[in-house]
Amino acid sequence: MNGLTGMEKFSHLEDKIYLTIEFVKKLREEKESIVGKFDDLRTELLQAQERIQQLETQLEVMHSERDAIQLKVEAMLEAMTVIDPEVARAIGR
């Protein structure tokens, strides 16, 4: 590098500056892409969390309905055993 003239040194420095500028532009574009993907993933996560909440609520309702139906069936079987003793033997009561 010692054998270079002042203009050659300046030209070499100019090349490095332009390469650095291009590198920074590329990094910014990559950052914007990553931020966009991150935002998309955040949105998907929020939607998934909302869906999970909906499904949990639906499951609670279904469990409540199942329990209510189970109680009604047990009450009907109990009523049948009172009416017909053979039903009581059949269901083991």
The string of pLDDT tens digits covering residues 27-76 is 999 999 999 999 999 999 999 999 999 999 999 999 999 999 999 999 98
17 lies in some domain: yes
Q: How many beta carbons lie within 10 A of that of residue 77, not counting itself?
A: 15
Q: Global pTM?
A: 0.60
**CA-to-CA distance for 5 and 60, rounded, in angstroms?**
81
- The residues, ordered by sequence, that sit 6+ positions from 55 with a Cβ below 8 Å of its Cβ are none
Number of domains in the chain: 1
- The boundaries of the domain holding residue 11 are 6-91
**b (16+ CB within 10 A) / e for 49-59:** eeeeeeeeeee
1 lies in some domain: no
11 lies in some domain: yes
84 lies in some domain: yes
**CA-to-CA distance for 41 and 45, rounded, in angstroms?**
6
Q: Using 50, 70 and 90 to split pLDDT, how confident is the model at 83?
A: confident
